[in-house]
Amino acid sequence: MAQDPFSNQAPIKGVKKIIAIGSGKGGVGKSTVSSNLAMALAEKDYKVGLLDADIYGPSLPSIFGCFNQRPEVNKEDKIIPISRYGIKLMSMGFLVEEDQPVVWRGPMLFKAMDQFLRDVEWGELDYLLVDLPPGTGDIVLTLAQKAPIDQSIVVTTPQTLSLSEVKKAIMMFKQIGVPTKVIVQNMSGMMVNGERIDLFPTGPINNIKESYGIPNLVEVPFDPKIGMSAEAGIPYFKSLKENTPAKDTYKDLANLIG
């Protein structure tokens, strides 16, 4: 019999729950959702770590305004994550220069994911959020083989193309035994003068939710301040004092998870 590919899974010491954030397409808002969910969970007093598993296109260092930082190593040779706003962060972006491409293939990726999980001093965490690269490739499968992912959140925009790709992400998680707890439809309309307008022709998100048996749907509106705060290096959730429709949806998401 073939060896069970998930037999190498081992819990990460001190980490209670691992949540993966994935999508079919790139640029749909995974890193934005991951960062703001991390902040919303931290506001609820959970201890949160955020692992940027997008090895080829790390974006958490810039969202959190810390891409020049280099993590230190402790006496036990463990990498100390960078702390920002109470969140413990780890990303390939802390290990390579900003303009250097990562040109690794299979085995090195495998090793890097392993190190991010095991050789980082995550400490005690209620949640380790893993911001995945788009699609259903090597990194996601490696991660699933290395660590027990408790649940996933999939992110899509309302366009038909993104929706059809997100089905693949849901199916991939299903195949590796990870339940998808929430589907996030990002950039889901925008409020203009108190009225909601659609930015894109919208597809059948509710049908997907029903037919794939996803228990929750969260719709995050488009808000120009989200992009601006990412450029400024402060997660949107943290940059605002007031509540906004988008901020409320991140809180809803945190309530569904935590």
Ligand X SMILES: Nc1ncnc2c1ncn2[C@@H]1O[C@H](COP(=O)(O)OP(=O)(O)O)[C@@H](O)[C@H]1O
User: Which residues in the 20-49 window bind Mg ion by CB under 5 A?
Assistant: 30-31
At closest approach, how far in Å is the CB of 47 from ligand X? 23
Number of other residues whose CB lies within 10 A of the CB of residue 110: 18
At closest approach, how far in Å is the CB of 58 from ligand X? 10
- 251/246 Cα distance (integer angstroms): 9
Residue 59 interacts with Mg ion (CB under 5 A)? yes
- 201/140 Cα distance (integer angstroms): 30
At closest approach, how far in Å is the CB of 54 from ligand X? 7
Those residues whose C-beta lies under 8 Å from the C-beta of residue 118, and which sit 6 or more positions away, are: 12
Residue 32 interacts with ligand X (CB under 6 A)? yes
The residue behind tokens 């909601």 is: 196
Residue 91 interacts with ligand X (CB under 6 A)? no
Contact code string over 154-193 relative to ligand X, x by CB under 6 A: --------------------------------xx------
Residue 187: which of Mg ion, ligand X, none does it interact with, CB under 5 to 8 A by kind?
ligand X
DSSP string, 50-89: EEE--SSS--HHHHTT-TT----B-TTSPBPPEEETTEEE
Q: Summarize as ranges the residues that interact with ligand X (CB under 6 A).
A: 23, 26-32, 59, 186-187, 220, 222-223, 226-227, 230, 246
